[in-house]
Structure 1
Amino acid sequence: MLNHYPLWKYIILIVALTIGIIYALPNLYGEDPAIQIIDTHDTITNEKVLVKISGDLQKNKILTKSIGLKNGAILARFENTDIQLRAHDILRNALGDRYIIALNLKPATPKWLEKFGAEPMRLGLDLRGGIHFLIQVDMDTYLSQLREQIMDVLSSDLNQQNINNFSIQKIDSAPSCLLIIFLEDSARHRASKYLSSSHHDLIFQNIRNNCLKITITQDRLKAEHEYAVQQNICILRNRVNQLGVAEPLVHRYGAYSIVVELPGTQDTAHAKEILGATATLEFRLVNLNTNINNTKDNYLPRDSEIKYTRDGRPILLYKPVILTGAHITDSTASKDEFNRPQVNIILNSSGGNIMSKFTKYNIGKYMATLFVEYKESAKRDAVGKSILTKTEEVINIASIQSQLGNRFRITGLDNNYEARQLSMLLRAGALVAPIKIVEERIIGPTLGTENIIQGIKSCTWGLIASVIFMISWYRKFGLIAITGLLLNLVLMVGMMSLLPGATLTMPGIAGIVLTLSIAVDANVLINERIKEEIKNRHSIQQAIYKGYRGAFQSIIDSNCTTLITAVILYVVGTNSIKGFAITTAIGIITSMFTSIFGTRAIVNLLYGGKKIKKLSI
């Protein structure tokens, strides 16, 4: 029978629409201004603090929509941002520095929708408000670190070849060059022959006075620069995840810059503290063979250097680093048997092997934990760039009592907050190269709300224009097309809310408006084809059947070419263009479903199997 759908097709349509409606509904409820409170001196914020905060808010006549414990933190929701900011000021004065009091925005999704896992669409910074950071990777410092690593490797290689009478130094005028000075020309000849055969990414050049000049190749420098930027991007993403920010955006900008956008976040200070931190750990062996108090004129063994503890006590450490924070896969803050803060470390397999081998042959010796951090100073270089200062302090010295594996602990920290911060940074990863925040912008939620209102207005006026045209031109079939258009919008919003990586931005709203017009275009093709079949004196049922069948191929072709364009835009475009491409691609898929399958189901339900003399088209 023509124009008749089996029951299973209607069931599929109803199920798809039901799922779309459920996952689109959370977008109607918006977001609540919220405050998140974390105790920096304890791993979990307790009920007593919750009672105190509730009492402080009630005493100052501040109403909350809800307040409670969630994931070890207190979350309070408010009606508007004015109440949120008042509550923030009151709680900051009442609780002091012990607590992190962060401003945020949380979805106001009802509990019954949360049971389905339904959440609102992830909004970009231009719609939701938040913080924008432009971060610059300090390649000069990274290159200096790279030269130090190469110096250690070359020194170790020469010592293994019994070449001892030499000194390695940097060439200040050439950032990519080193200089090895030998006492004898024969030693230089042996060293040059051996090193050039094993280090193909270095250029060795004999110069006067028994010197060997070493230059890092351009390919090696390029690869190192790329590695530093990409690795820092990965680590910053991990740190953003530790902040608990929803839908963050971390991407490369130019050669050595990174953009970090944190939608919904309003606490700039805490975000800067976590993102800009460059803390890492180095584990080194303590040199007990030299009495540091007897050293004169700063004479030290070539393989050792002086570091200081927090109380200013000098410690002589061997230069070779046993292990760095790069091998740490997990770290947690807790307390030891004496109720003192500690950080529990878990190493990866290679780090565990290194630690196991080292401690096996150094039982009875002392190993120091060196805390390394780069901080911005008030000084600037000739170009105007801020100069980073390197601070180092020994936070722990422990005797190696037995062979260690991939799990151990660090003590010697001042308080629980420091332990929590250090464990979080180590868990997220240490930055490969230091960074500097060169620009920060706060986009208020008011501006985001205005953008959303403008976007809704554009969609609404587009729909109104489509409704007027379709109904006036195609009458009842125009009304069916508009019904399919509304279903298409619901499915688009539902899919955008359901996809984990999709984020709606202003260009994304433009993509929604565009796909609504594409959906109308598909129905125009179908309706015009039906009218053409009627003019060719086919029966009403045959005209409907041939109209949908004839327009099917044209709709598929046109939508596929648009879909290919959207994919290309996503692959080669910037982040704003990607937002446009995602919504366009999703809209194309849903429009084909509603135009071909959805409206056909309505037409079949109204006209299928019936004797009809005239169509309202």
Structure 2
Amino acid sequence: MLEVDMAPVYQAHQQSVIDEFTSEFRASRGRITNEGVQLTLFGDSDASRARSFVRQQFPNWDRSIQDNVIRLTQSDDEKSTLRNLTVQQNLQIMRERIAELGITEASVQRQGENRIRIELPGVQDPAAAKDVIGATASLAFHALADTRSSRALTLKDNDNHPITLERRAILGGEHIIDARAGIGDMGAAEVNISLDASGGRKMSQFTRSNIGNPMATVYSEYSRNAKGESEQVSKVISVATIQSQLGSRFRITGVGSMHDAQELALLLRAGSLTAPVTIIEERTIGPSLGAENVKNGFAALALGLGLTLTFIALWYRRLGWVANTALIANMVCLFGLIALLPGAVLTLPGIAGMVLTVGMAVDANVLIFERIKDKMREGRTFAQSIDRGFQSAFHSIFDANLTTMIVAIALYAIGNGPIQGFAITLGLGLLTSMFTGVFLSRAIINLIWGRDQRREIRV
């Protein structure tokens, strides 16, 4: 159970209001107060234009204007909207990080106003998973600034030397769409960055007009101070001189060891959390509880399979034994494919998909055998009936499996966690049932009765 800390998010929005206002009105100052933001105009600034600017740019903020002092406070509706948006963004980022870790059938759900519940079945190293899921690492690129500038930001580098930067970043980590760790020309670890179209344009425009000037890469993450409050810790990991115009692809160095580079690349690929999170509750459900669920699930699978095998054997007699052989082979193939999936964990939704696969697999053989019976009633030989029966039934079987496969793909694309697990087993079951129900059954029948020319055989 994770709790999303909204205080840094509210503070970041307040700071963005100050930056935007002071950028528009140079003769102004802003500060964050307990109530919100206080903006002060100095000199001969146009107070009426400033009030109009505030009304247009920050319509959802409560305003209090007195002379040249403007006070802004976030309304309850604005805070609620911002909280919902932040939690939803964190939910999506959590799911992407879990997918990067290769954990299947994980459940990530919102609980309450600002909490996230995560269930990770089959995780062998919970500590490593927690480090990645709760990490808040992000990158930003800044131009260097004059130390005398009032809008400058001073951070330390890896050698603890102060670096003065422009407060507003050239672009942030939200524009990073891919990041891969690698080894540079000098043998040091590096991270190769790919930007989206908007980020590529910003980087291209800035570097084109700043060739020969330095640019700093800032690494930021949230941590807890002695009072238990979240605070952002930022440091400059590299300062490089722009040698040429950059585009959507470039690399950064100074990221530490190869392990550090790989972890940073994973976090950047999966996105930077928009707010820090704290683990407030953790429980591990051991095999004692899981074993009972799995036992019940497999009991249902065994019961369904057993009843199906018995019915098919009694109703279709010798052909029924062929169908039963294909059905058992189908389950073996399905278990084998699931075992090949990296990080696959068979949970109750997955077992439910396998139970449904039993019915889908038998349906193919039922269609084939009924078509064979129809052909024999027309007076054809058994061998001819087999050939025509498989041909005429194949299109119906293919159409039925195709439409079900479309549903399975939709479930996997839209759903998450257990729903994706059900979709995976259902989709793989459709593939194996097509193979065993049509091709394997045909091979067995041809091997046994393919050369039989008698017209009447009890089937």
Match status 1:237 vs 2:96: yes
Equivalent of 1:469 in 311, 314, 325: 311
Shift of residue 555, structure 1, vs aligned partner: 6.8
Which of 53, 65, 81 is the equivalent residue of 1:207? 65
Deviations 1:391-418 (A, max 9, x none): 344566x58586674657555x887776
Whichever residue aligns with residue 19 of structure 2, its letter is D
Question: Which residue matches 1:112?
Answer: none
Deviation at 1:330, TM superposition (A): 4.2
- Report the 3-state secondary structure (helix = DSSP H, G, I; strand = E; otherwise coil) of the residue aligned with 1:471: helix
Equivalent pair of 1:283/1:367 in contact (CA under 8 Å): yes
Distance of aligned partners of 1:303 and 1:520 in 2 relative to their CA distance in 1, 3 Å threshold: closer
Match of 2:429 in 1: 587
Q: Following the alignment from structure 2 to structure 1, what is the Cα–Cα distance between the partners of residues 302 and 422?
A: 18
Q: 2:8 is matched with which residue? A: 141
Matched, 1:376 2:224: yes
Instruction: Output aligned runs, 1:167-178, within 5 Å.
Output: 167-170=29-32, 172-173=34-35, 178=37
Show CA shifts across 1:282-327 (max 9, x none): 454565554xxxxxxxxxx642455556787766654333454455
* In structure 2, distance between residues paired with 1:550 and 1:418: 60
- 2:362 corresponds to which letter in structure 1? V
Identity over the aligned pairs, expressed in percent?
Answer: 33
Give the TM-score normalised by structure 1: 0.55
Could you tell me which of 164, 173, 189 is aligned with 2:48? 189
1:514 corresponds to: 356
Distance 1:158 1:444, change over 3 A: same
Aligned to 1:610: 453
Q: 1:384 aligns to what?
A: none
Q: Which amino acid aligns with 1:149?
A: S
What secondary structure sits across from 1:266 in the alignment?
A: coil
| Aligned-partner Cα distance in 2 for 1:150–1:212 | 12
Specify which of 277, 288, 291 is matched with residue 135 of structure 2: 277
Label 1:571 to 1:201 Cα distance change in 2 as closer, same or farther (>3 A): farther
Q: Take 1:228 and 1:422, find their aligned partners in 2: how far apart are those partners?
A: 22
Q: What amino acid sits opposite 1:142 in the alignment?
A: V
Q: Residues 484 and 347 of structure 1: is their aligned pair in 2 closer, same or farther, counting only changes over 3 Å? A: closer
| Residues 97 and 132 in structure 2, CA contact (< 8 A), matched pair in contact too | no
Q: CA deviation at 1:278?
A: 1.9
Give the AA of the match of 2:321.
L
Shift of 1:374: 0.6
Output the CA distance in 1 between the equivalents of 2:415 and 2:260.
41
Corresponding residue SS for 1:207: strand
CA distance in 1, matches of 2:431, 2:360: 11
Contact 1:278 1:373 in 2 (8 A): yes
Whole-angstrom distance in 1 between the partners of 2:98 and 2:414: 27
- Letter of the structure 1 residue corresponding to residue 46 of structure 2: A
- Please list the CA deviations of residues 455-494 of structure 1 after superposition, one character each: whole Å capped at 9, or x if unmatched: 5555445434433333344321221221232243345446
Which deviations, in whole Å up to 9, do the C-alpha atoms of 1:160-209 show, x marking residues without a partner? Answer: xxxx1x333346446xxx44333589722112335656x48766856333
Any gaps of 5 or more consecutive residues in structure 2? none
Are the aligned partners of 1:370 and 1:392 in contact in 2 as well (CA < 8 Å)?
yes
- Determine whether 1:352 maps to 2:203: yes
Q: Distance in 1 between matches of 2:395 and 2:13?
A: 60
1:319 to 155, 159, 167: 167
- Relative to 1, partners in 2 of residues 1:190 and 1:172: Cα closer, same or farther, differing over 3 Å? same
Q: What pairs up with 1:28-43 in 2 under 5 angstroms?
A: none
Contact 1:201 1:216 in 2 (8 A): no
Structure 1 range deviating more: 517-526 or 447-456: 447-456
State the alpha-carbon separation in 2 of the partners of residues 234 and 461 from structure 1.
40
Letter in 2 for 1:468: T
**Displacement, 1:248?**
7.6
SS in structure 1 opposite 2:9? Answer: helix
**Is residue 105–residue 420 contact of structure 2 (8 Å, CA) maintained in 1?**
no
- Residue 518 to residue 286, structure 1, CA distance change in 2 (3 Å): closer
Relative distance call for 1:261 and 1:540 in structure 2 (3 A) is same
Cross-structure match for 1:15: none
Structure 1 CA distance for aligned equivalents of residues 70 and 330 of structure 2: 71
Partners of 1:318 and 1:543 lie apart in 2 by: 81
Change (3 A) 1:214 1:461: same
Q: Which residue does the alignment assign to 2:151?
A: 303
1:180 to 29, 32, 39: 39
Count of residues in Structure 1 that have an aligned counterpart in Structure 2? 448
CA distance in 1 between partners of 2:369 and 2:123 (Å): 49
Gaps of 5+ in 1: 1-133, 291-300, 381-386
Equivalent residue runs for 1:210-221 within 5 Å: 210-212=68-70
Paired residues of 1:188 and 1:211 also in contact (CA < 8 A): no
Please show how residues 431-470 of structure 1 align to structure 2 within 5 Å.
431-442=273-284, 458-470=300-312
Distance 1:582 1:144 in 2: 43
Whether the 8 Å CA contact 2:180–2:262 is kept in 1: the answer is no
Structure 1 counterpart SS, 2:25 = helix
Q: Is the 8 A contact 1:233 1:252 kept in 2?
A: no
